[in-house]
Structure 1
Amino acid sequence: MMTTKPVIQTGISTFVYASPFKTADFHLLPKIKAAGYDIVEVAVEQADLIDWDLLVSMTRDLGLRITLSGAFGPRRDISSDNAAFRKEGLDYILTCIRLAEKTGSPLFGGPLYSAVGKTRIVPVEQKRQERAWCLENLRIAGKAAADHGILLGVEALNRFETDMINTTDQALALIAEVDHPALRLSFDTFHANIEEKDIPAAIRKAGALLLHVQANESDRGTPGTGHLPWTAIRQALDEIGYQGSVVLETFGEPSEELARAACIWRPLAGSADEMATEGAAFYKRIFT
């Protein structure tokens, strides 16, 4: 067991402030830095709305790092029974891999395997076929990620947002089946609070495969205001020697599609600024 705390940097997702994030929202970057974050996690909803060169320049000048996360609607579903949607999903992942390399993001993460909000009861044979399509596309994505020096983070979602990967065990099984070193685990404590019996134990089980942590509260509100076992979560991260980042990913003003997929029906805090500043202060106490 480690006796010293590894260095963990903290970040905040653009989802907190804007959806979709675009060049006109770059005025938020100094605010993110002033709140005390090390990282801005850019949720890539519409890549063509973002001036990526300017983003790289501004974040470099501010001393902010970038990580990238995905937004997976029905047309970006690599396990869809619609071949055009599978292709669009894979093309989107490949685009985000290239953007990760361009921006210096070490990773691209999210529910890479399916569309958010896809929840059904289907025959076993259909599930088997969907998984086969998923595996085929993740292997292609894994190779591309390795070619660009990027890692991919598979994120489990709760049962109300996907019927495919809900638990750490399921995510690790998918990663093992893909069997590519570029594929790792991205862990979201909000989803884990619904699906895991013991969040720190799930972190320990992930071990060296844990790539990225989205440290979200039990109700997806301001971190520290709910009932998650934050001290035990930090202890578990210390025990596995985690040296990645922890990022606040919740939704201040979600788009209609995102709100429906993630079931966001009410404000999660007094304001995005309140959530960001109070979240940063809480992260500093727990993680740094």
Structure 2
Amino acid sequence: MKFGVSTFLWVSPFDTHSFDLVHKVKEMGFDIIEVPVENKDLVDWDELKKLTDEVGLKVSISGAFGADRDISSEDPAIRANGLKYIQDSIKIAAKMGSPLFGGPLYSAVGKLRSISPEQKKQEFDWCVDNLKKACITAEEFGITLGLEPLNRFESDMVNTVDQALEIVKAVDSPFLKIQLDTFHNNIEEKNIAVSIRKVGKELLCHVQGNESDRGTPGTGNLAWNEIKEALEEIGYEGAMVIETFGAVSKEMAKATCIWRPLANSADELASEGLAFYKEQFRN
């Protein structure tokens, strides 16, 4: 299994001035640097690709879904912008050699409401329609879309594996799969290992292995042995990535409800988290 870490741990937004993180992540011993597309115009993607190739680091591309990138919004202009953002990010993933582009593709993070069944159905339909369009672009560029359930405090639309599977089934494209974040799963699923088995090898494309408090993996209350057994049972061949948040922007802090430091330092969280990954998943 290959191990990675998100640049969210150190900086937000990631930009061309943040490229020193490539050397840091490589020197720590990670295989993958995960880069969120917060503002695509702040990053010289050609230079980033050149640098990651030089140091021998793989790249995975993730999403940052603000209020104006919501493919299930009531506002047609926002839905269109959300679709364009996904399509632009697919192209970035292809340029960077990332096999996937993942995140809460279906809605904006922090969108929390109690709405009628009729409105839920309408938003579901808008989401499915736009994901079908996104999958056409994904097929063109050979990129898998990873749909990620979020916890109830960050989204009112997709919190569980069952809800994610419902969207994947409705879209019915081999280019739309599911990625899991164990932090969210720990809140919403009865049993994370059972949920992993339910998604299965064919649909599980990516795992963000985050601790119960989003702190250092291995220091919380997750049943890591059960998670390992389930991943081995289904024959999971993807990556395991730390995605937590250090120097977060005000918008990101509000969306993810990060109000305090999660470790003594970002470097410590990353290095100790990687050591835990290697002990847990390579033994």
Give the TM-score of the pair, scaled to structure 1: 0.97
Distance in 1 (alpha carbons) for counterparts of 2:24 and 2:225: 28
**1:272 corresponds to 2:266:** yes
Distance in 2 (alpha carbons) for counterparts of 1:55 and 1:283: 26
Question: 2:252 maps to which residue?
Answer: 258
Distance in 1 (alpha carbons) for counterparts of 2:171 and 2:189: 23
1:277 aligns to what SS in structure 2?
helix
Distance in 1 (alpha carbons) for counterparts of 2:231 and 2:241: 14
Q: Structure 2 residue aligned with 1:24, among 17, 27, 50?
A: 17
Q: Structure 1 residue aligned with 2:28, among 23, 31, 35?
A: 35
Q: Report matched runs for 1:35-184 at 5 Å.
A: 35-184=28-177
Deviation at 1:123, TM superposition (A): 1.4
CA RMSD of aligned residues (A): 0.6
Distance in 1 (alpha carbons) for counterparts of 2:83 and 2:95: 19
**1:231 corresponds to 2:231:** no
**1:12 corresponds to 2:5:** yes
Higher relative contact order (CA 8 A, sep 6+): 1
Distance in 1 (alpha carbons) for counterparts of 2:32 and 2:89: 17
Deviation at 1:125, TM superposition (A): 1.2
Deviation at 1:234, TM superposition (A): 0.8
Runs of 5+ consecutive residues of structure 1 not aligned to the other structure: 1-7
Deviation at 1:56, TM superposition (A): 0.4
Distance in 1 (alpha carbons) for counterparts of 2:46 and 2:65: 24
1:11 aligns to what SS in structure 2?
strand
Amino acid across the alignment from 1:162? S
1:142 aligns to what SS in structure 2?
helix
Identity over aligned residues, as a percent?
58
2:218 aligns to what SS in structure 1?
coil
Question: 2:181 maps to which residue?
Answer: 188
Distance in 1 (alpha carbons) for counterparts of 2:13 and 2:23: 19
CA offsets 1:193-212 (integer angstroms, 9 cap, x no match)? 00011101100111021000
Runs of 5+ consecutive residues of structure 2 not aligned to the other structure: none
Distance in 1 (alpha carbons) for counterparts of 2:155 and 2:102: 16
1:75 aligns to what SS in structure 2?
coil
1:76 aligns to what SS in structure 2?
coil
Distance in 2 (alpha carbons) for counterparts of 1:90 and 1:272: 33
CA offsets 1:208-257 (integer angstroms, 9 cap, x no match)? 21000000000000101101011111111000000000000000111100
CA offsets 1:109-141 (integer angstroms, 9 cap, x no match)? 000000000010011111111111101100000
Deviation at 1:103, TM superposition (A): 0.5
Amino acid across the alignment from 1:10? F
Q: How many residues align?
A: 281
Amino acid across the alignment from 1:68? I
Distance in 2 (alpha carbons) for counterparts of 1:241 and 1:12: 22
